[in-house]
Structure 1
Amino acid sequence: MNTSIIIKEVIYKAVRSSGAGGQHVNKVSSKVELSFDILASQGLTDEEKLLLSQKLSSRLTKSGTLILQCSDHRSQHRNKELVIKRLFEVLKTNLHIPKKRKSTRPSRAAVKKRLEQKQRQSTKKANRRKPLF
């Protein structure tokens, strides 16, 4: 993943934010919408494109474009910084391949210790009962 190439390929669009906010929200286009075409990107390898298209299939458009939005702040520049940060977080987390789990067994000593502890606990509780006679 080449971040400098990806930043050049990203398309930004400033949009008016929705919701309450009075006069300011009606005048200023502070919401930033970022679109990134994963399949046409030169900053990703073919394996990375395939992996991202599989993992992000629910978030991609039909043409394979990832769209992210940010309207957290009143500043368009701050929203642009945040949406870029979010893009790289999404890419990084979805490109991570978890390690395969190796199945293990408890040692014979650990099994023996556990069973002895259970037996001790059982006798302790049995000694608290009333006698049968």
Structure 2
Amino acid sequence: MLQVTSVIRIPESELPERFIRSPGPGGQNVNKVETAVQLSFDVARSPSLPEDVRRRLLRLGGRRVDGDGVLTIEAHRFRTRERNREDARERLAELIRQAAHRPKPRIATRPTRGSKERRLAAKKQRGRVKQMRSRRPSDD
């Protein structure tokens, strides 16, 4: 059971893992030991997630989410399989925590009169500067 928040818990059955060979330099075991982890999580069909969290997680996942709504996290930062496994689970939990955070709705406001006046004054000043550049001195 992966405890994400006090409300969201994901059972082990929803987190299939695959072990693959880790990319990069490795030493003696580089072509023999499969230490990297591919952790998959079916976001679209998971009963463990509330609907609003599911939508935000699909958006947050970006290119890690395939067309079927399966989020895949690859972890190969460490040399051991166990540390990579923990790393992948922690990264998934952190992503779900971010998705669980409901963004504060933006309240539309209008610009103040003073800010409008300052903006227009700055535009006029900028126009004057550009106009001064284009004027050529007369040949007297």
Structure 1 length-normalised TM: 0.67
> Counterpart in 2 of 1:83?
88
Sort the Cα spacing of 1:79 and 1:55 in 2 relative to 1 into closer, same or farther, 3 A.
closer
Q: Tell me if structure 2 keeps the 8 A contact 1:32–1:79.
A: yes
Alpha-carbon deviations, 1:19-77, whole Å to 9, x = none? 21222111111101101110111111223222322343443101111010111111101
* 1:67 corresponds to 2:72: yes
List, as ranges, runs of 4+ consecutive aligned residues in structure 1 with deviation greater than 6 Å.
Answer: none
Q: 1:64 to 1:81 in 2, by over 3 A?
A: same
Whichever structure has more helix as a proportion of its residues is 1
Identity %: 32
Q: Give the stretch that moved more between structures: 57-66 or 78-87.
A: 57-66
The alignment partner of 1:34 has SS state of: strand
Q: Does 1:30 align with 2:35?
A: yes
SS at match of 1:82: helix
User: 5+ residue gaps in structure 2?
Assistant: 115-140
* Alpha-carbon spacing, 1:81–1:48, altered in 2? closer, same or farther (3 Å): same
State the superposition RMSD in angstroms: 2.4
Runs of 5+ unmatched residues, structure 1: 112-133
The number of equivalent residue pairs is 107
